[in-house]
Amino acid sequence: MTPVIAIHGGAGAISRADMSAEKEQEYQQALRRIVEAGQAVLAAGGSAMDAVTEAVRLLEDCPLFNAGHGAVLTSAATHELDASVMDGATLRTGAVAMVDCVRNPILAARRVMEQSKHVLFVGEGAVAFAREQGLELVDPSYFTTEARRQQLERVQREHPDAAVLDHDGQAIVSRGQPAPADPLDADRKFGTVGAVAVDARGNLAAATSTGGITNKQVGRVGDSPLIGAGCYANNRTCAISATGTGEMFIRMVAAYDVSARMEYLGESLAQAADCVVNKKLPTIDGKGGLIAVDAQGNVALPFNTEGMYRGYGRVGEDAVVAIYR
């Protein structure tokens, strides 16, 4: 088995005409750097769980993506972060939701899996658990960037009742102001990050993390911390991390559906992932994509939007990264 890791940083509509070559390169360099970090973990004999945890931790620390530092703001100008992990060898899982001061929610999710008898902690209980585990806590202002604050102000000014899922509907940009300098339009982008991997022992793992959606109602939770919706791993089939309209991925149990199609219908990874993303989700206006690897090391990266930040790398080979179709 040649180990492989795949990552995503969200999907959505392309604003290529308004984007500088420098900005596109910045995103590609970040994706490549993080894929290579995951490859290094796998090359050193690390587990798939170690690789996806490290990749998502780095994505959370990168302000270009909507997770951790650089997370979007709720309608109350606060942060509510979610994350989950799943181990395909044991089917053990861990998740946290609505945390506002845990620097790396993905580390908290892994501790839930490894150090508790539960699967999901939320809000104050999740923060208390992270504190007990000695994880780094930060002031909530750590997650805020000026770009995200401006995004919230723009949404509240133009469409005060809208929760912008970084993806769907019209881009909300003030007249006379330049469009977001982002390869994917910041107001039409699904802001989630994730990683999936298979290691040299054939074990699979998945991890997903998000800052939520701009101007969302306080307390809303999407698919990212929900096992089977935004994250799933099973050594019998595949590992999945999703990004998209969270409510639709929850309704479709999208991540698990890919695995179920492989196990019960005998579909290949590519067939199952394509069916869920390009046939089933669109029936309820579900937009976004997912990254997937199977127990044989195959990789699938389908999306039904104009672009998706994505990359993958096999141990011993150069990383491959892309934004557009």
222 marked among binding-site residues = yes
Contacts of 283 (CB under 8 A, 6+ apart): none
Q: Measuring CA to CA, how many Å separate 135 from each of 18, 43, 86, 107, 129?
A: 40, 27, 19, 8, 9
Strands (E), 27-92: 81-87
223 marked among binding-site residues = yes
Given a contact cutoff of 8 angstroms between Cβ atoms, the answer to whether 93 and 205 are in contact is: no
246 marked among binding-site residues = yes
As beta bridge partners, residue 99 has 81
220 marked among binding-site residues = yes
Amino acid (one-letter) located at 24: E
9 marked among binding-site residues = no
Three-class DSSP category at 164: strand
First and final CA of the chain: distance in angstroms?
29
Catalytic option among 74, 93, 144, 192: 192
- How many residues make up the chain in this entry? 325
Contacts of 302 (CB under 8 A, 6+ apart): 273, 274, 277, 278, 289, 290
* Structural element, H or E, at residue 32: helix 21-43
Q: At what angle do helices 21-43 and 48-61 cross, to 10 degrees?
A: 150
Residue environment code for 89-100, b if the CB has 16+ CB neighbours within 10 A, otherwise e:
beeebbbbbbbb
Q: Measuring CA to CA, how many Å separate 205 from each of 69, 86, 121?
A: 24, 6, 20
Q: What angle do CA 64, 67, 72 make, to 5 degrees?
A: 80
The pair of structure tokens assigned to 85 is 């992990």
Given a contact cutoff of 8 angstroms between Cβ atoms, the answer to whether 268 and 262 are in contact is: yes
Look at phi and psi of residue 134 and say left if phi exceeds 0, alpha if psi is from -120 to 50, else beta: left
Q: Is 192 a catalytic residue?
A: yes
Please give the annotated binding residues for substrate, written as ranges: 220-223, 243-246
Per the annotation, where are the binding residues? 220-223, 243-246
**Catalytic residue numbers?**
192
